Structure 1
Amino acid sequence: METLPQLPQDIIVNILSRLPVKSLLQFKCVSKPWRSLISDPHFAKLQLTQSQRNGNFSSQRVLLITEPPESAACEASGDDDDSKLILKLEYPTAMKRTPDSDELMDGQVDLGGSCNGLVCLVFENDRVFLLNPTIRETKELAKLNAFDRMGTFSYGFGFDFSTNDYKVVRAARPSSEDDASSETEVEILELKSNIWRRIEGFKSGIEIEGPGIFLHGALHWLGEKESDGLEIVNVIVSFQLAEEKFQLMPLPDQIEESNDSRVLGVSGDCLCLFNGCGERYFEAWLLKDSNKSSWTRLFGVQRDLVPRHRYWEKALCYTKSGKVVIDYGGRCLVWYDPKEKTSKTYTSRSNWGWFDPAIYIESLISPNCYDA
């Protein structure tokens, strides 16, 4: 019996690197050589590069930090039922209350951001974990230094292309209004060294909130600063990971500077600004090149067309198919199509009854391949 010719290894690697992560995880069972290849950190980087080069929006998901955790596909269609839309996950043992428990460890959980399929989670402002929800691997980083625990904290997580290393950033603002040193203190950790170090912060009068969004070598937060006459205006605070420098980016010229219902999100590898104009209007803007600060308006709709618009909302991303994924108070996700004026809703059935959302992509990147 004639056997089929064997493809050269480099062609096999090239073909497999173009496949989605879900298929690759299944193909680990094909043979020991394939399992070894797909588990290799260099192959994981190659697959990630191919996915990013092809603009693979389908790998973008929302991690619902709840108990048990869930993962939702950003590119949802109106015909998808929950079994296709939602994946039920479980936390790795290191993040559980006890090794035999199914529950997440006690305490406050803050989102530190996501990058290349890794999600950064911070417990009680001192324990930091990196989690890849797709391959279900985790790594605990060095504990954070003690700051004023009554202060406010914002985090960011991204990749420094100049050093080929991941970095975690924490910005801490003291709680005391009487503190003469009201400058935001900033610490940074590089995964290869796993050591926290202090860097220059940013001046008083500027505040940021939430996890930073990593795009094109920089972290981005929506912030507030005092302008002339002590008026508070919105700005985007950008942090270049290679230079470790903060800078301010302007909002679109066509929108009001001050607004309480405004959030940053993503659309593929671009930054999105979702702007709620009071009780009447909801719009989205796209920033393709942060260096040029050139904004493009995506859409604008009347508020009464947006489902659940009376509840606290946080738009997370704008999908390739033209839908906005919106988190309503950590209770449900809505995929809203501003063109067709249609929506699809998913309500979490977790034990907690609420969730914190984090946008991430599916990848094979292990948080443990950057040990010192």
Structure 2
Amino acid sequence: METLPQDIIANILSRLPVKFLIQLKCVCKPWRSLISDPQFAKLHLKQTQKNSNFSRYRVLLITEPLESIACEASAEDLDDESKLILELEYPSAMKKTPDSDDLVDGWLDLGGSCNGLICAVFEHERIFLWNPTIREAKELANLNAFDPKASFSYGLGYDFLTDDYKVVRAARPSTANASNETEVEVLALKSNNWRRVQGLQSGTEIEGPGLFFHGTLHWLAARETGLKKIYVIVAFHMVEEKFYELVPVPDHVEESKDNTLVLGISGDCLCLFYGYDCENVFEAWLLKEYGIKSSWSRLFSVHRDILHGYKYWENALCYTKTGKVLIDYDGRELVWYDPKEKTSKTFTPGNHWDWFQPAIYIESLVSPNCYGATNV
């Protein structure tokens, strides 16, 4: 190995999973320096994204203890908890004190993930960027004051032009507020300052974390048009920092307070999970051509009786390469459902909280502390 050029060594190591690279930091000082280099993290991320043999996506269970599970878990893994669960640790930056086991005060909300980083928000007052794989976190600048009764949505994405990560915060005012426009601000990690940008048009509502895909953040949005409500996918361009309407949802997705709509990713396409209680049906749609409404194609449609188990809600998390849907039941169970075989496998994590919040992410070496000057 000593005779190999440094770029060859970097190329070889960049093809390994993160868990091995963390161990290999202990081999020698040059390897530790190489694996810790932000440029190597970018090289490794690029290799991971183009290597179809890697099971890229994992689901992080925000609970105690912190747990991570591969989205592509096999039936054998689901029967063996020691193979299925990877137990992680919360970073000291997100604890009350470095030696404490308790997180900082406040309810934890998740604001999306991008390239291994997760946006974590406590009571809409403190916000962190966090890589659970390498256990690093950075607290961002204080949030600006908005209507305290507003509904908030967050998103995390990457701006390829400036090589920077950006957090988007959207505040939909309460009904008591005279303005109906959703206010939006952006924080670029390198500057660590919040800036107001173009808001969403009046009457357009988004909820939940944004989904980063194709260099853009995406949300499902509802918009009132007279007496009718329509659903569309809106996008926020990370470079231009502007919202635009990408595409409406499939025509037959009609207004109903009982409907459940969830945006996801399948391979290199956006997908839409749709459950409607009135007909007891659960289905998934794939947007085969980005931004083209006519390219919506139904992946499957099943009767909900097959998906037994949940009491309050079902939240589809992702559609795997093997054709299974990973579903969160009530924040207490994970279900891998195979719509082709009409079979399912349920896993109930054991934890001290008796519930979890799920976050889909990938393992990476990207450190939030390599951007900007204010580190935690």
Counterpart Cα distance in 2 of 1:205 and 1:106: 33
Q: Which amino acid aligns with 1:181?
A: S
- The residue that corresponds to 1:132 in the other structure is 131
- The residue that corresponds to 1:361 in the other structure is 362
**Could you list the per-position Cα deviations for residues 128-174 of structure 1 after superposition, in whole angstroms to 9, with x for gaps in the alignment?**
10110111111111011011221100000000112111100000012
- The residue that corresponds to 1:210 in the other structure is 208
Counterpart Cα distance in 1 of 2:273 and 2:284: 4
Among 3, 9, 24, the residue aligned to 1:6: 3
**Could you list the per-position Cα deviations for residues 79-124 of structure 1 after superposition, in whole angstroms to 9, with x for gaps in the alignment?**
1122211111121111112222112222111111100000000111
Are the counterparts in 2 of residues 266 and 316 from structure 1 also a CA contact under 8 Å? no
SS at match of 1:172: strand
Counterpart Cα distance in 2 of 1:70 and 1:160: 29
Counterpart Cα distance in 1 of 2:308 and 2:27: 46
Aligned positions of 1:50-129 closer than 5 A: 50-55=47-52, 58-80=55-77, 81-129=80-128
SS at match of 1:38: helix
**Alignment TM-score, normalising by the size of structure 1:** 0.94
- The residue that corresponds to 1:161 in the other structure is 160
**Alignment TM-score, normalising by the size of structure 2:** 0.93
- The residue that corresponds to 1:302 in the other structure is 303
- The residue that corresponds to 2:20 in the other structure is 23
- The residue that corresponds to 1:219 in the other structure is 217
**Cα deviation, residue 56, structure 1:** 5.3
Aligned positions of 1:218-297 closer than 5 A: 218-227=216-225, 229-259=226-256, 260-278=259-277, 279-293=279-293, 294-297=295-298
Q: Which amino acid aligns with 2:284?
A: A
SS at match of 2:368: coil
Counterpart Cα distance in 2 of 1:66 and 1:113: 17
SS at match of 1:101: coil
Are the counterparts in 1 of residues 311 and 330 from structure 2 also a CA contact under 8 Å? no
Of stretches 16-25 and 216-225 in structure 1, the one that deviates more from structure 2 is: 16-25
**Could you list the per-position Cα deviations for residues 321-362 of structure 1 after superposition, in whole angstroms to 9, with x for gaps in the alignment?**
111110111111111111122222222322221111110000
Gaps of 5+ in 1: none
Gaps of 5+ in 2: none
Give the fraction of aligned pairs with identical amino acids, expressed as a percent. 67
Aligned residue pair count:
367
> Structure 1 residues 298, 21: CA separation in 2 closer, same or farther (over 3 Å shift)?
same
Counterpart Cα distance in 2 of 1:136 and 1:288: 36
- The residue that corresponds to 1:197 in the other structure is 195
**Cα deviation, residue 370, structure 1:** 0.8
**Could you list the per-position Cα deviations for residues 275-315 of structure 1 after superposition, in whole angstroms to 9, with x for gaps in the alignment?**
11324211111224433343232222111112325541000
Q: Which amino acid aligns with 2:95?
A: K
**Cα deviation, residue 230, structure 1:** 2.2
> Structure 1 residues 9, 99: CA separation in 2 closer, same or farther (over 3 Å shift)?
closer
Counterpart Cα distance in 1 of 2:53 and 2:208: 26
Q: Which amino acid aligns with 1:226?
A: E
